[in-house]
Amino acid sequence: MPFGENTVVAITDEKWGATRRSLQETSGRFAELLSAVADSRAKATVHWSVAETAAHVVTLAQACSSMVGSGPSPEVADLFSATIVDTVDVLNDALLTRYTERDLATLARLVPALADQILESSAGADPTRPIPWLGESQVPLAGVLAHLLNEFQVHGRDIARAARIEWRVPARDAAHFFDLFLVGVTDYGYGHLLDGHGAAPRGRIAVEFRSPYTTPVTMALTDGFVTVEPPGGPTDVRLSFDPTALNLMLFGRLSRARAALTGKVVVRGRRPWTLPAFLRIVRLPS
């Protein structure tokens, strides 16, 4: 029986099960990756070493575990509530300051243990249950797991590139982030998450998203307010995408030009030039 019948993207038993399996498998691969890194001090991102990046992922797994379990501490809940897209770096720094472990062997053991804890806590739960998220937004439970899965995927790539180790993210696994988190937080209510973007474009910009691995949807930006709609109505942009590439583009790991040149993100439609204005509002931390 499908869950989330009133949402644009139904959170079915099949989709929920696939997300859970992918989280378990990817957390194991992430732990193996950490165990294979020779230099924990190598730069994985502009600001973080491999060890700091791994610790960041662990702090998010800990937060995810508390959210699907007994709930976060009041202090962490307040941090999440006060955070918007443009201040995620402040939240990340606060969590890293509180969590001081940087030993890769220890972090490698913690990652799959936390993933197992999350899967055990959420076993039998309703995946459509709304969970409080950043900026007073709400996300379906399935979307919380999909978000953590994406953290493993994106930061696994960061660490692998620093260590010159192969890291692959299958498109089918990357698709859960779009279907369950990105669409989910928009559909459930994004609160103040997208505040701080400046003046929004007036009128309506409708972007249809399609890939072989996700449910087709249209996201519409109308006078600064974002909604999710079923496909088929009038659109300005039709965006065909590979989920792995789209996630990397949205998180600043892949340029829009590179995504387009490789054919991983294809933009068509009657007003394709409106996409940058849309993405200035509908954005993710990069």
- The answer to whether residue 24 sits within a structural domain is yes
Same domain? 155 vs 229: no
- The answer to whether residue 265 sits within a structural domain is yes
Distance from the Cα of residue 224 to its chain's centroid: 22
Last residue of a domain, one of 188, 220, 248: 188
CATH of the domain at 36: 1.20.120.450
- The answer to whether residue 2 sits within a structural domain is no
Same domain? 210 vs 172: no
pLDDT at 8: 79
Q: How many domains does the chain fold into?
A: 2
Same domain? 133 vs 17: yes
Cα(49)–Cα(67) distance, integer angstroms = 27
- The answer to whether residue 155 sits within a structural domain is yes
- The answer to whether residue 258 sits within a structural domain is yes
> Which one, of 65, 63, 96, lies nearest residue 80 by Cα?
63
Q: Which amino acid is at 217?
A: V
Max CA separation in the chain (angstroms): 53
Last residue of a domain, one of 129, 160, 188: 188
pLDDT at 201: 87
Q: Among the residues of 169-282, which ranges form H helices?
A: 171-176, 183-188, 243-250, 256-261, 275-281
184-197 burial code (b ≥16 CB/10 A, e <16): bbbbbebbebbeee
Range of the domain at 264: 204-281
Same domain? 96 vs 43: yes
Same domain? 44 vs 156: yes
Q: Confidence band (pLDDT; 50, 70, 90) for 5? A: low
CATH of the domain at 222: 3.30.1050.10
- The answer to whether residue 34 sits within a structural domain is yes
Same domain? 41 vs 83: yes
pLDDT at 2: 39
The per-residue pLDDT for range 137-155, each reduced to its tens digit, is 999 999 999 999 999 999 9
Question: In which order are the strands placed within the sheet that holds 237-241?
Answer: 225-229, 217-222, 204-210, 237-241, 265-268
Last residue of a domain, one of 188, 223, 239: 188
pTM above 0.75, yes or no: yes
Give percent of the chain with pLDDT exceeding 70: 98
Cα(137)–Cα(189) distance, integer angstroms = 6
Q: Which amino acid is at 116?
A: D
Same domain? 56 vs 130: yes
The per-residue pLDDT for range 252-274, each reduced to its tens digit, is 999 999 999 999 999 999 999 99
Based on DSSP, count helices (H) and strands (E) in the chain, helices before strands: 11, 7
Same domain? 233 vs 267: yes
Q: What is the DSSP-derived secondary structure letter of residue 191?
A: T
- The answer to whether residue 3 sits within a structural domain is no
DSSP string covering 141-175, please? HHHHHHHHHHHHHHHHHHHHHHHT------HHHHH
Same domain? 88 vs 151: yes
- The answer to whether residue 41 sits within a structural domain is yes
Residues facing residue 226 across a β-bridge: 221
The per-residue pLDDT for range 193-222, each reduced to its tens digit, is 999 877 888 999 999 999 999 999 999 999
Same domain? 148 vs 61: yes
Cα(180)–Cα(157) distance, integer angstroms = 21
Same domain? 35 vs 156: yes
Same domain? 86 vs 112: yes
Q: Confidence band (pLDDT; 50, 70, 90) for 4? A: very low
Element (H, E) at 205: strand 204-210
Give percent of the chain with pLDDT exceeding 90: 91
Q: Is the pLDDT of residue 162 over 70?
A: yes
The per-residue pLDDT for range 73-118, each reduced to its tens digit, is 888 899 999 999 999 999 999 999 999 999 999 999 999 999 999 9
pLDDT at 6: 53
